[in-house]
Structure 1
Amino acid sequence: MNKDILYKFFEGTASLEEEKDVRLWMEASADNRRAFFKERKLFDGMLLLGDENIIRSGKKRFTINFSSLRTELIKIAAVIAFTLGGSFFYQQIQTEQTLIPLQTIAVPAGQRINITLPDGTNVWLNARTTIQYPITFNANERLVKLDGEAYFDVARNEKKPFIVQTDKYNVEVLGTQFDVESYSDTENFETALMEGSVRISSLTDTNESLTLTPNNKAYLHEGKLRVMSVDDYSPYRWREGLICFKNETFASIMKEFEKYYGINIHITNKQVQKYLYTGKFRQTDGVDYALRVLQKDIRFSYQRDDDKNIIYIK
């Protein structure tokens, strides 16, 4: 795959035909998918470094020096925290018990990033997600704290379990691939397992735990964990910058927009709730573009209150 097209895809400037070519190429083989995510990580690193080689001004484009870029990425130890066109949050703190410095990375609304943890675990962080982890894991476990949504490809180490701690549950693994969603400002919790196995245990009820097998997800229903099979992985394509939905209600789509863009959406138009909708948007398109596209098939109007950060669907 042409790297120039890939980077246009990452920026959200690729044409529809180029987007189609990238997705078909990526889905053709596991090697292509690995190459895709490798280049995405390089792209994220260049954004962090502010490398002039990828700065775009109008239609002017610059050549990317990949060999020098890899050298720079090694220098920063693959710890990435950034926003596109905005500020980023990064701090070091210490735990009272062990005095081990912790890294905290927060992703703003409408963005996503890819990082590598000290043990080699690869993590994608979704919009409005915060992760905290030590600069070195201790001898007994690899504990990270998550508020938001992340996709983990965990480096296997049978002597050191990997634990994702949310405000609701712990998700413990040895080596696997899974998606965890647990925003502290909502009641939702979900873990979808792609490979390996995970054990989910409640932070408040020692009797509530379960072991998840591949192609299944655990979710909260009326305060209790439930399990169901996963037959559609398109919702997890957020790693590619896509917001995907299939046979979803208008309200559930608006909830996704709230998550990605950090806004509140109030729906007063009851007609929009009569149907189920299927489609996808790029995160970089923004919520106004997505709403205008939906208006082509659904009769509604909307009004923004930027002072209160609310969109009213009428």
Structure 2
Amino acid sequence: MNKDILTKFLSNQCSYNECKDVASYLESHDEELDKIQIFEHIPEQELIRASHAEKDAIFERIVAKPNKYLLMKRILIAASILVFVAFSFYKLGKHDSPEHLDNPISMEIFNNSQNPEWYVLPDSSRVKLEPQAKLSYLRNFAKDRIINQVAGEVTYFVQPNTAHPFRVINQGIQTRAVGTAFSIADYNADNLIVRLLEGKIVLEDPTNKLDNQVKLNIPTTIIINKSDFTYSHLDQKKNGYHTAWEEEKSKVSRNYPTSSIAWSNQVVNFNGVSNTDLFSIMERLYDVSIDVENPRIIDGNFTGELYQNDNLESLLTIFCQINGCTFTIKDNIIRIK
């Protein structure tokens, strides 16, 4: 059994097919069961959601007859089922939306990569997690749309649903929206930075102990105190395009090999650069936010040229011709479908 795959399995990080392969292997190799600690990375409260009778019934359907490893196999099967279910909610930027159940087990999304990643939530809302960003939600999310933003910067593109408002709780501040686009991140130890991109949001105390509310209905960025909800608008000075070009040129030369991105004074050549990297560069260069509505676009890469005098629409047109997608631009939000 491949040690790396087994390690991923035990830490709930392998793909669905990898999980299935590991479970199948361990069920047919009894001697391997004694070498692992199946509970090592799985919280106890997540393992007691099924009754003993339910686990026995599942076990009897899978294993024809018991043997001396009966107990360990029961543990394996219960844990494997948990892993399969949890993974369907885990990394959805590259997969379809998961099916959701009523069992309120917490699901967690963590971007431990060096690039932003997009994910699709059970209600079809989309989130973009910057590197090291982390959030969690309950598995009954479609009925109770509450996100706990644990760390980092996250941008939300909310699917409208007036019956079930979308709420994000971050360090005592709840941001409530019906259908909108906004981002939340730490500003410093005492404050959050909240950017409304589109629509309307209300920032409030989720415990209702404070009556303070901050309502935003036009695109703006605020710095809000976590304790008393005092806030100030942040005057974000936009760089001119030529200044942004030079800044991005310097940043790319430090972070990317010239074989991938070759940036000169007048033109930049992209050679198989990931679409995720391309989107990040476009956002900084043109001061826009990109919402990827088509998850399959995330997995691709881009080869082409961008001249300094080219406009954003030209680059997007070329991109969509290559990838078979469409785009819209409104209020500095690009939506790629």
Give the TM-score normalised by structure 1: 0.42
Which structure: greater strand fraction? 1
Please identify the structure whose Cα radius of gyration is greater.
Answer: 2
